[in-house]
Chain A
Amino acid sequence: MARKPKAGPASDPEILILSSLASGPKHGYAIMKDIETFAGVSLGPGTLYTAITRLVERKFVAPQSSSGRQRPYRLTDEGAEGLAIVLSDMRRVAIVGLKRLRPA
């Protein structure tokens, strides 16, 4: 069984940002809008950039060069691997939890 990386995404904003970037590079504003659309969660700008800072430090996302003030961020291979592991764990827990909630 694959082991969860030590420095994996630990909190919801990080998982949401990684999930958003899984469909392609985006800048901060586009990430916020995308998360609002697919998760119904409105991340504050401070929370968003704190999470992006952590993800960049862990090399889970990387900034791309840009001529504008907003740099797009892309998911790295490590980020994709970490996200896949966390989402698989979440799916396994969700399946078990939903099964147990069903009336006998």
Chain B
Amino acid sequence: MTSKSSIVRILLRLYPAAWRREYGLELEDLLMTRALGPSTVADVAFNALRQRVRHASPATLYGLTVMSVIFLLLTWNIVAPPATGDGLAAVLRDSPMTLPTIAIAPLTSYYYLLLVAAVTSRMASRHDVSPSQSGMDGIRICAIASLPIVMAGVLMLLGILHVEVLRAGQSPTTFAQHGFTYTFYDSGNHEFSPIAVLIAPMFRILESWMWGTIGGAFGRRGRVRESQPAK
């Protein structure tokens, strides 16, 4: 296999499988007939991303949206740590519960749970989706949204992302002073641990599944009602 055909194969793998089945052979043939310059590679890769977005389910898209928000908040915490532990950028919080010991602020909010229910309800009202599938969509939103937390936990375990634990009355240091460091506010409930960060998203799965199922059942009920003939 030549290097050109290898690059073409890699580029085609960027497209969704359903799209590849329909147009893959044609695009492969077209790419093999022309020079593979940077502009062609960029054009194909960008359009593969567009196809991915077009083929993605609403659950995936909303999961990616929440993931982006969490990623931005984590970055905000590193670059400009919040003055107190209840600011938006305090993503990881000392949980008052026994388990999990770390609470992920955006995923424990009512807004997030309402979003999961609203998305799965909308999906079920438009398509024939069973409540159990809606529950799985809720889990998908949670899993995708949690990726930056898992990534932060791994970086903390590897010692790449440092953690500055602040207790009541202590002020955060600036980015110039602490570098690549996450600022955590200790409420005195638990000792901070990177493992706790890593497993914290698992404790959101059940609630996401539950709200996904409820939303799906609600949307499905509306769909059934609409499909019944008026008396």
Contacts and interface: CB of A to CB of B under 8 A. Distances in A.
Nearest to A51: B47
Interface in B1-60: 19, 22-23, 25-31, 33-34, 39-40, 43-48, 50-51
Contact of B51 (A27, A29, A44, A50): A50
Nearest to B48: A46
Contacts of B19: 53
Interface residues of A, number: 16
Contacts of A50: 47, 50-51
B41 to A, nearest CB: 9
Contacts of A70: 26, 29-30
B30 A28 contact: yes
A44 B30 contact: no
A37 B6 CA distance: 31
B40 to A, nearest CB: 6
Could you tell me the dominant secondary structure of chain A's interface residues?
A: helix
B50 A45 contact: no
A28 B28 CA distance: 11
Contacts of B33: 29
Contacts of A69: 25-26, 28-29
Interface in B182-197: none
Interface string A26-53: 0111001000000000001111111011
Contacts of A71: 26
Nearest to A29: B30
Contacts of A27: 26
A69 B31 CA distance: 12
Contacts of B25: 69
20 contacts: A28-B27, A28-B30, A29-B29, A29-B30, A29-B33, A44-B47, A45-B27, A45-B31, A46-B27, A46-B43, A46-B46, A46-B47, A49-B27, A49-B47, A50-B51, A52-B23, A53-B23, A53-B51, A69-B28, A71-B26
Interface of B: 19, 22-23, 25-31, 33-34, 39-40, 43-48, 50-51
Interface of A: 27-29, 32, 44-50, 52-53, 69-71
